[in-house]
Amino acid sequence: MIDFNKMIDNHLKKEHRPKGSGKYYPSEIGNCLRKVWYTYKYPLELKPELIKIFELGNIMHDFVVQVLKSEKNKDVELLKSEFPVKAEIDDFLISGRVDNLILIKASGRNVLVEVKSTMDISRIWEAQPHNIVQLQLYMHMIGVHNGILLYIDKKNLQSKIFEIKYDEQKAMEIIERFRLLHRSIKEDAIPDPEARGDKKTLWMCRYCEYREKCYAETAQDAKWM
Ligand code: SF4
């Protein structure tokens, strides 16, 4: 008989290509800066379980495109999906991929729609700060200053949307964050364990593959949880 689990693993298997310094991604910059730094300095191959979770996310993205394109949804027109954006800053490159650009026909407004799939939509009460960072940057880079974060549940297709106001000051701060990341990679200077500095971001450490390394580097104290 066939082993379909193995077939899925084979199908999804990709060659492991470590990221090169000098090219950075909007989808990562809202994460803990030390973690992003680790991913450049100590790249890890993705575990098969994680690859499958990401693939489910891709499947959801395709589904959202189908919904936005559907002729049964006449109030909205899908203008573009999955399109690249790039910006050269100083001596490095910011490179990303925008999920969707739509036209709201009633108002004539163009709106960026960034899609995030989730395992439990009931836990999403507000737009997540690291997702807002990504969308703020895209709004800035593309010059479309209306944005929506769309969360969709992988179990039941329930969704929630949050409108995000463009804020130029925030976009500048995010670009500054890229500068900080680039400098710390070039100079081989490890950033602070950011996510451990605030109870609101400590959840990131639960899912961090570099947790042990991070605690070995910086022990728990009054400042870093
Ligand atoms: S354990 Fe937490 S603070 Fe340390 S690198 Fe990971 S996410 Fe950042």
Look at ligand 1, atom 3, and give the residue with the nearest C-alpha: 193
Q: How far is the CA of 215 from the centre of ligand 1 (A)?
A: 8
Distance 188 CA to ligand 1 centre (A): 17
Looking at the CA of residue 205, tell me the nearest atom of ligand 1.
2
Q: How many Cβ atoms are within 10 Å of 40's Cβ, its own excluded?
A: 19
pLDDT digits (tens, 9 = 90+) for 174-195: 999 999 999 999 999 999 999 9
pTM of the model: 0.92
Task: Find out whether the beta carbon of 196 lies less than 6 Å from any atom of ligand 1.
Answer: yes
Q: Which residues pair with 147 in a beta bridge?
A: 112, 164
The CATH architecture that domain 19-216 belongs to is Alpha-Beta Complex (3.90)
pLDDT in tens, 111-139: 999 999 999 999 999 999 999 999 999 99
**Domain spans, the chain:** 19-216
User: Both tokens of residue 62?
Assistant: 């395709």
Nearest atom, ligand 1, residue 208 CA: 6
Q: Compute the distance between CA of residue 171 and CA of residue 191 in angstroms, rounded to an integer.
A: 21
